[in-house]
């Protein structure tokens, strides 16, 4: 797939990626853990995720004639087994789909919802906001799961296989087991204390009362049976059936060890909440950047609007010719501005008047871009602008700090032989979610409602992210698909990482499109994340470099973050092959696979 004129943004990067890394054949799915490789090139379709078993599950479905949507659901279900602290049927997410036949992009908002009885005081006690740690490991934090509805909606709209068929690889992994790696063990260890609060969680994830051993086989027969039940009954088992009843019972009476002393506050979820839930088909956000069309998810996630606004702010700066210092400076400042606007304007559009179109207008971006100076740094928290009434370089208004979001989630990217593409980010919020396992069902429940503001971020400013009945908490999830001027795929990508998702996707896109890095290298590049805070977070590769010193000379202030995000992506090459790319190191390295590395 070529691109006309001077728009050859990624062709050099493509050649470099193919030459330097080469085509890696995907392992055949077996009971043994497939090898992880960060990049693969070939035909017939591609899958990239953080986990080799999960990527292999998607490849298996593609090899048997399934399309990208079928493979995405299969990969997601497998991640629910092998990455249970990041995703699963107890959570939610956002699904972005490119249809090759019509050359159009469609999205599903599968975000969890607050109970219908919730109000703005959901996380307050005695008139004061709860401590975050007290809210997380409780029934209060659990929203109505959206992942099962997302899977069924995607399959109904665009899939070619039924739910039972695409769940089979994941069911097999849950039954036969997967090999424990360092990441799984370390994530279990970081949650060990709170996992022990809940006997069902401890029984599942601390076998024989111990941390799982690296190299051992971890099985989840309860989850295998749950997948079998979903295959037989459909997702109605959750939203209208016995499985849903079990979720409600668990949320409202968290099965806590009485000897732990933990106050696991009960939630307010009901069967009515489950029955009322629906995954929302909605239009994507769209931003034009360097002559390309960038599509992502619209609110309730802030991902599409915030990445899109930052790209628009950067549109008139030639990042391809900028020095590394100036490139990072402009990227950081654009992120700062976009986050200032996100905090003021973005929430669930069913409850809030979100000016999505105005936030994504080039006119508004230009009014904000003039705040950026080559030799100075904006102070944070920066006040938001007014996208409906843009005023050039306006610094008036009242700032609100960015609220905390859990940093664990997972992302997968899939393409098929027909040219369809899926970019899908799913989550149970922070690592381990609420820490509460549904007894006998094999999966953790989300703590997604803690993405709401517990109290207004700034009492003087309207906060669009306070809880409400049936409301979706604001997210930063940013699954993205980039098309050329003929509406054919260029690249698709996304990342986990809470609020850092937005900056990871923005930095990876600009690294690939502007700096001409091969996709796998744009993903691997050391990251910076500025979210309208006094300090910008840097990974060690930047924190320990001369670039940090040069940026500090301009006025930037930094703090160290050991690891930011874990992106995956797929790229359509000019000769028709797919390139799948994942992390080289983060989260233990990702897994990129293609159906066939040969023609």
Are residues 519 and 512 in contact, defined by beta-carbon separation less than 8 angstroms?
yes
Token representation of residue 268: 């307010």
User: How many CB atoms neighbour CB 133 within 10 A?
Assistant: 9
| Residues that are catalytic | 409
User: What is the spatial distance between Cα 592 and Cα 503, in angstroms, rounded to a whole number?
Assistant: 22
Q: Spell 301-318 as b/e; 16+ CB within 10 A means b.
A: bbbbbbbbbbbbbbbebe
For residue 22, is it left (φ>0), alpha (ψ between -120 and 50) or beta? Answer: left
Q: How far is CA 480 from CA 209, 286, 299, 354, in A?
A: 41, 10, 14, 20
User: What is the spatial distance between Cα 459 and Cα 183, in angstroms, rounded to a whole number?
Assistant: 40
List 592's β-bridge partners, or say none.
48
The 3 state secondary structure assigned to 365-411 is HHHHHCCCCCCCCCCCCCCCCCCCCCCCCCCCCCCCCCCCCCCCCEE
DSSP 3-state helix, strand, coil percentages of the chain (rounded to 5)? 35, 15, 45
Strand bridging mode 558-560 / 536-538? parallel
> How many residues does this entry show for the chain?
599
For CA atoms 132, 137, 138, 144, the dihedral sign is positive
List 211's β-bridge partners, or say none.
none
User: What is the spatial distance between Cα 66 and Cα 166, in angstroms, rounded to a whole number?
Assistant: 9
Helix (H) or strand (E) holding 14: helix 11-21
- The whole-angstrom distance between residue 411's C-alpha and the CA centroid of its chain comes to 5
Are residues 100 and 420 in contact, defined by beta-carbon separation less than 8 angstroms?
yes
For CA atoms 65, 69, 70, 72, the dihedral sign is positive
User: What is the spatial distance between Cα 2 and Cα 8, in angstroms, rounded to a whole number?
Assistant: 8
Are residues 462 and 352 in contact, defined by beta-carbon separation less than 8 angstroms?
no
Q: How far is CA 432 from CA 132, 190, 451, 556, 587, in A?
A: 15, 9, 15, 34, 15
The Cβ-side half-sphere exposure at 344, using a 13 Å CA radius, reads: 22
For CA atoms 432, 434, 438, 444, the dihedral sign is negative
Burial class (CB in 10 A: 0-12, 13-18, 19+), 192: middle
């Amino acid at each position: 797939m070529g691109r006309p004129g001077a728009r050859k943004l990624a062709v050099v990067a493509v050649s470099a990626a193919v030459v330097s890394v080469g085509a890696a054949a995907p392992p055949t799915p077996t009971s043994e853990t497939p090898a992880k490789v960060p990049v693969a090139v070939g035909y017939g379709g591609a899958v990239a995720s953080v986990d080799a078993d999960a990527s292999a599950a998607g490849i298996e479905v593609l090899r048997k004639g399934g399309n990208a949507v079928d493979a995405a659901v299969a990969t997601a279900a497998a991640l629910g087994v092998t990455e249970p602290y990041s995703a699963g049927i107890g959570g939610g997410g956002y699904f972005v789909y490119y249809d090759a036949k019509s050359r159009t992009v469609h999205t599903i908002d599968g975000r969890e919802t607050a109970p219908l009885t919730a109000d703005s005081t959901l996380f307050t006690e005695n008139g004061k906001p709860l401590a975050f740690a007290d809210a997380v490991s409780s029934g209060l934090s659990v929203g109505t799961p959206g992942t099962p509805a997302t899977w069924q909606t995607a399959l109904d709209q665009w899939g070619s296989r039924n739910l039972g068929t695409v769940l089979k690889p994941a069911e097999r992994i849950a039954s036969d087991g997967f090999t424990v790696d360092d990441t799984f063990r370390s994530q279990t260890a970081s949650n060990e204390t709170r996992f022990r609060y809940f006997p069902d969680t401890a029984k599942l994830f601390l076998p024989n009362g111990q941390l799982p051993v690296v190299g051992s086989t971890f099985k989840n027969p309860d989850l295998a049976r749950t997948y079998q039940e979903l295959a037989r009954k459909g997702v109605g088992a959750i939203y209208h059936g016995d499985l849903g009843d079990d979720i409600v019972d668990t949320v409202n009476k968290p099965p806590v060890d009485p000897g732990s002393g933990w106050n696991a506050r009960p939630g307010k979820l009901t069967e009515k909440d489950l029955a009322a839930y629906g995954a929302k088909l909605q239009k994507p956000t769209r931003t034009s950047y360097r002559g390309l069309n960038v599509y992502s998810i619209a609110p309730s996630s802030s991902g599409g609007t915030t990445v899109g606004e930052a790209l628009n702010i950067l549109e008139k700066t030639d990042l391809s010719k900028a020095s590394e210092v100036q490139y990072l400076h402009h990227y950081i400042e654009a992120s700062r501005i976009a986050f200032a606007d996100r905090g003021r304007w973005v929430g669930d559009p069913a409850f809030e008047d979100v000016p999505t179109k105005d936030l994504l207008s080039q006119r508004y971006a230009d009014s904000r871009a003039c705040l950026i100076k080559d030799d100075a740094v904006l102070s944070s928290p920066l006040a938001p602008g007014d996208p409906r009434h843009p005023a050039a370089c306006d610094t008036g208004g009242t700032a609100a700090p960015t609220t905390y979001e859990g940093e664990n989630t997972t992302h997968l990217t899939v393409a098929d032989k027909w040219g369809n593409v899926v970019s899908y980010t799913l989550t149970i919020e922070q690592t381990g979610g609420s820490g509460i396992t549904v007894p006998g069902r094999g999966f953790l429940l989300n703590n997604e409602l803690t993405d709401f503001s517990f109290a207004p971020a700034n009492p003087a400013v309207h906060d669009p992210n306070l809880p409400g009945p049936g409301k979706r908490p604001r997210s930063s999830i940013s699954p993205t698909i980039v098309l050329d001027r003929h509406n054919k795929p260029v690249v698709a990508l996304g990342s986990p990482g809470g609020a850092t998702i937005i900056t990871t996707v923005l930095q990876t896109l600009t690294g690939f499109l502007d700096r001409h890095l091969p996709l796998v290298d744009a993903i691997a590049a050391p990251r910076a994340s500025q979210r309208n805070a006094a300090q910008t977070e840097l990974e060690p590769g930047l924190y320990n470099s001369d670039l940090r010193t040069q940026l500090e000379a301009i006025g930037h202030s930094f703090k160290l973050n050991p690891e930011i995000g874990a992106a995956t992506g797929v790229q359509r090459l000019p000769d028709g092959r797919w390139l799948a790319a994942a992390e080289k190191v983060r989260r233990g390295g990702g897994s990129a696979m293609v159906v066939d590395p040969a023609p």
